[in-house]
């Protein structure tokens, strides 16, 4: 991939995002592709940033939090910046655990209802 440039269409396909999403990330300056006329090309730096953006979204971070993460990655951050990042990660981990607990409870409730209904069906005459 060293030095390889991806077109706008290739970037969308590689990361399975819509053109609108990719344009928005450029608009809010999370990505800065090379431009040749109206064409845009994405090098290794932008591919790495897009990977981190999507990872951050998957973790549930806001785009502003992702911007801070990318800024730390692009330049050596201070100790304070890294401590802030760790605190953000801890906060998000706690939120994801809360969401998981709610999902687990919903799964348990749905299984219980399904099993009760299945039993009700088994008790019914054919």
Query: How many folded domains does the chain comprise?
Result: 2
Residue-number span of the structural domain to which 32 is assigned: 1-75
Residues 69, 32, single domain; the answer is: yes
Residues 58, 107, single domain; the answer is: no
Residues 90, 64, single domain; the answer is: no
Q: Going by C-beta distance under 8 Å and a sequence separation of 6 or more, which residues neighbour residue 63?
A: 28, 30
- Whether the predicted pLDDT of 98 surpasses 60: yes
| Residue 1 confidence class, pLDDT cut points 50, 70, 90 | very low
Closest CA to 31 of 6, 1, 60: 6
Question: What pLDDT is recorded for position 84?
Answer: 85
| Residue 82 confidence class, pLDDT cut points 50, 70, 90 | confident
Rg (alpha carbons) of the chain, rounded to whole number: 22
| Residue 75 confidence class, pLDDT cut points 50, 70, 90 | confident
Instruction: Tell me the mean pLDDT in the region 81-91.
Output: 89
For the entire predicted model, the pTM comes to 0.76
Q: Going by C-beta distance under 8 Å and a sequence separation of 6 or more, which residues neighbour residue 54?
A: 15, 17
Residues 2, 57, single domain; the answer is: yes
Instruction: Tell me the mean pLDDT in the region 6-27.
Output: 97
Residues 53, 112, single domain; the answer is: no
Question: What pLDDT is recorded for position 2?
Answer: 53
In 16-78, where does DSSP find H-type helix? 19-27, 44-59, 63-74
Final residue in a domain of this structure, among 53, 75, 97: 75
List residues bridging with 39 in a β-sheet.
36
Distance CA 121, CA 123 (A): 5
């Amino acid at each position: 991939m060293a030095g390889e440039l991806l077109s706008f269409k290739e970037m969308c396909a590689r990361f399975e995002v819509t053109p609108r999403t990719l344009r928005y990330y450029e608009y809010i300056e999370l990505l800065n592709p090379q431009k040749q006329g109206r064409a845009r090309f994405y090098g290794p730096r932008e591919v790495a940033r897009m990977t981190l953006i999507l990872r951050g979204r998957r973790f549930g971070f806001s785009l502003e939090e992702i911007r801070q993460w990318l800024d730390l990655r692009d330049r050596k951050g201070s100790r304070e910046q890294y401590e802030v990042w760790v605190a953000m990660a801890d906060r998000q981990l706690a939120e994801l655990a809360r969401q998981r607990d709610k999902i687990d409870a919903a799964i348990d409730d749905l299984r219980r209802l399904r099993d009760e209904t299945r039993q009700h069906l088994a008790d019914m005459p054919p």
